[in-house]
């Protein structure tokens, strides 16, 4: 098994919990943000951390997620909704419920795409989100 280049089946993905997909998708999203920031020449770990917070908080992820919703395929939209409707036990103090649900939906989608090995689609969506922030 190559854990860096996954190729899970649709059946495997349908059996996986929404929050497991979101858990993995959170890591995928953060890795992309960190890669982007390092390439942007942020020089210290403190500057990198502060810059990353502008992307990885639930409110920030919710805003980014809104940009890509109209661009999702039917299947991606269903996964996004699956993540948005996931039952969570707690919401961070700095986020509203709707923001947290959208952030979880984005993470679920990224986890789902990653487990299929569809990193090109993740990159495409991430690039679109970054371009909308300019």
Q: Which of 23, 6, 2 is nearest to 119 (CA)?
A: 6
CATH class, range 10-133: mainly alpha
12 catalytic per annotation = no
Whole-model pTM: value is 0.91
Q: Tell me the pLDDT tens digit for each residue of 115-127.
A: 999 999 999 999 9
pLDDT band at 30 (very low <50, low <70, confident <90, very high): very high
CB 21 within 8 A of CB 108: yes
Residues 6 or more apart from 12 whose CB is under 8 A from it?
A: 115
Tokens representing 97?
């419920």
What are the structural domain ranges in the chain? 10-133
Residues 6 or more apart from 19 whose CB is under 8 A from it?
A: 86, 88, 104
Looking at the chain, the whole-number percentage of residues with pLDDT higher than 90 is 57
């Amino acid at each position: 098994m190559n854990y860096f280049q996954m190729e899970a089946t649709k059946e495997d993905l349908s059996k996986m919990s929404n929050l497991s997909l979101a858990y993995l998708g959170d890591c995928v999203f953060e890795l992309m943000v960190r890669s982007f920031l390092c390439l942007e020449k942020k020089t210290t770990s403190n500057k990198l951390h502060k810059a990353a917070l502008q992307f990885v908080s639930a409110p920030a992820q919710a805003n980014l997620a809104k940009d890509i919703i109209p661009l999702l395929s039917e299947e991606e939209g269903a996964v996004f909704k699956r993540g948005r409707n996931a039952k969570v036990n707690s919401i961070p103090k700095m986020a509203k419920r709707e923001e947290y649900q959208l952030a979880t939906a984005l993470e679920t989608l990224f986890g789902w795409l990653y487990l299929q090995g569809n990193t090109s689609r993740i990159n495409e969506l991430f690039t679109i989100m970054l371009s909308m922030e300019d």
